[in-house]
Amino acid sequence: MTNLKTDLIRGDQWSGLVMGNHAVARGMIESGVRVATTYPGSPTPEIAAALSAVPEDVRPYYFEYSTNEKVALEVATGASLNGHLSTVFFKSVGLNVASDSLIQLSLFELIGGMVVVLGDDPGVNSSQNEQDNRHFFRMSYIPMFEPATPTEAYEMYIEASRLSKQYRAPVALRLTTHVCHAKEVVQFSPITSGPPDWTSRFDTENGPYLPLVKWVFPMKKRALEKLEQFEGESNKSRFNEVHAPNSSGPIDGKRLGIISSGLPALAILENLHASGHGIDLLKLGMSYPMPQQALKAFLADHDEVIIVEELDRVMETEIKALAWDLNVSCNIRSRSTRDQLMGEFTPDRTWSLLSDHWPSLFPAQSPVEIPADISPRIAQMCPGCGHRSAFHAIRAAMDDDTIAVGDIGCHSMGFFLPHNIGDVLLSMGHSTATGAGLSINNTRKVIAFLGDSTLFHAGWPGIVNAIINNHSITLFLMENGTTAMTGHQPRPGAGEIGDKIPLKGVFEALGVQFIREVDTYNQGLLTQYAREAIAYDGFALVIARHPCMLKFVRTQRAKVPDFELSHVEIDQETCDQSRVCIEKFGCPSFYTHEDGSVTVHPDLCIGDGSCLKTCPVQAIQRESKRGYK
């Protein structure tokens, strides 16, 4: 496997088994990226992990975790305006946050070049929706590449950065979850860029950089002219190619073809190899602007073509419009059912789609049967998670008609059994504002949850609004000191980036009158504070604090060579099998047996003791105090 600390900046030509995200990181370095910014979110955080693994004193680039995706994009934009090749990367829904500034990018002369790397998420592997962000780049006049493999991700990044510098315009690299996380042996080229040159080249003569009434139309005209030039690049791009895995020729008197991109194109290739039929595939790598000449030639050369794409009808709409404009007689088919507009296109699903249109060539396959005895897996918080203790304590303070507004983070697991706390979820940082709206002239109590990382990402505006309007809402700020859900990236204010920011002091300065702080393991006191806060008339804050235990354990193991975890155990003579530890507290370390007894799994328990006070008969006891302080 690749050693990111050394291999990522190796100057020679070499090959290695890498994941797609790491291949992109190497592509950045080979291209001479000088500024890279991000806000962490799956499926792209490994790009950041790779860039930050390189020691700061030898990095040929500046890298930062920004407070949110909009800020990350704006920092990268400023760097490009100053003449430095820049990159910003984030997850699918992160583009919603950044879109306010993304829309303006193509209007500017980005003299250093700028690549926007996006991790889209068909199949909702780690997001709250599976939005199709290809629409954003079309709305923004930003050309786009769509790789299908780690090698393509690496090569397309380098090409995207080249074109971006040549045309002084933004270029997008749209990854999807399994391209980010796939592994492949990638052949890397030598690093030819020299040491960083931080000379400022910002000049208003390269502008205007003010999209105001006087300049908007000339700027938009220039953006559209560049888009036409990018179409010329797309027409000759080596990443738009025809694959003919089997000998081509008419089938039942018809010449058949398929148009696809990204991972669906690989699934189609697998289907074609399996079928043995002479059907051609036009795989689009530089998919926007559409390569009109290549599409015209492909459509003219085939009698019938199927368009296969994940999520929305983006390529389909544009290709059908192009065929109409060009008066092409090819019969263009596309997805025909609602289910085919959702989820990832794996080889079994693309086979099924082809079977719908060409049943004699792709006979229907029997669906895979899942054994009935496989139970669904409930999403879980980690053993020892302070959020579990918080939810257990807060639940005891809630009435049945209390409305709970959730947010994005590890605490989202509180929506599920056994806690079932959380009735509404929109987006990162929304909880306080949405909860405030729910509280207006409402006799029911409203509580909201917000993580400390999300607080800095997008939480402050809604909080300020709730405070100044004195909305009657209780905010539980779940402070674990890190960005835990995406891999423990540093959050602002925790002291890992810059100085610590005392959260209580900030809220006091904003005028909050009701503030309580408590360690979530102190469940009795947290329940008391929760009751007081919910009863309070106005904005109330409870800071429920405990460090992320997954990070704590990893840090201890790295610092203490002989570190050993302790465990808890069940006193079987005391245990009354009321199962509070499982059914109400919900720690995955506890499990039951056929005789009803409860025991502790030693591979899962970390001995933190957060469960000790949950047992009504005190049957949970410490086995050892080793390793936990």
Burial class (CB in 10 A: 0-12, 13-18, 19+), 371: exposed
Beta strands 598-600 and 590-592, pairing class: antiparallel
47 pLDDT more than 90: yes
Q: What is the pLDDT of residue 370?
A: 60
Hey, how many other C-beta atoms are within 10 angstroms of the C-beta on 476? 28
When pLDDT is averaged across residues 95-116 and rounded to a whole number, the result is 95
Please report the pLDDT score of residue 627 as a whole number: 44
pLDDT tier at 629 (50, 70, 90 boundaries)?
very low
Report whether pLDDT(550) > 90.
Answer: no
Tell me what pLDDT residue 251 has: 86
Residue 599 has pLDDT above 50, yes or no: yes
Domains and CATH numbers, the chain: 4-236 (3.40.50.970), 240-357 (3.40.50.920), 386-552 (3.40.50.970), 564-622 (3.30.70.20)
- Secondary structure element (H or E) that encloses residue 180, with its range: helix 177-181
- Of all residues in the chain, the percent with pLDDT exceeding 70 is 97
Across the chain, mean pLDDT equals 91
Q: How many CB atoms lie within 10 A of CB 623?
A: 13
What radius of gyration, in Å, describes the C-alpha atoms of the chain? 27
Summarised one tens digit per residue, pLDDT across range 51-70 is 999 999 999 999 999 989 99
346-399: pLDDT as tens digits: 999 999 999 999 999 999 886 666 666 666 677 788 888 999 999 999 999 999
pLDDT level of residue 625 (50, 70, 90 thresholds): very low
In whole angstroms, what is the distance from residue 266 CA to residue 310 CA?
Answer: 12
Note the pLDDT of residue 416.
Answer: 85
Dihedral sign computed on CA atoms, order 75, 78, 84, 87 = positive
Amino acid 371: pLDDT:
65
In this structure, are residues 439 and 481 in contact, taking their beta carbons and an 8 Å threshold?
Answer: no
Average pLDDT over residues 557-567: 83
Q: What pLDDT sits at residue 303? A: 94
Confidence check: pLDDT of 482 > 90: no
pLDDT range class, residue 126, cuts 50, 70, 90: confident
Question: Out of 29-33, 214-218, 249-253, 581-585, which region has the weakest mean confidence (pLDDT)?
Answer: 249-253
Give the model confidence (pLDDT) of 405-445 as tens digits. 999 888 888 888 888 898 898 888 899 999 999 999 999 99
Q: 3-state SS of 258-290?
A: EEEEHHHHHHHHHHHHHHCCCCEEEEECEEECC
- Provide mean pLDDT across the span 446-466: 92
Angle, alpha carbons 161-134-268 (nearest 5°): 95
For the stretch 577-586, pLDDT in tens is 999 998 899 8
pLDDT band per the 50, 70, 90 thresholds, residue 273: very high
Q: Are strands 620-622 and 568-570 parallel, antiparallel or unpaired?
A: antiparallel
Average pLDDT rounded to a whole number, residues 11-17: 92
Mean of pLDDT values over 37-48: 93
Residue whose token pair is 């390269």:
206
Position 261 scores a pLDDT of: 96
pLDDT in tens, 224-245: 999 999 999 999 999 999 999 8
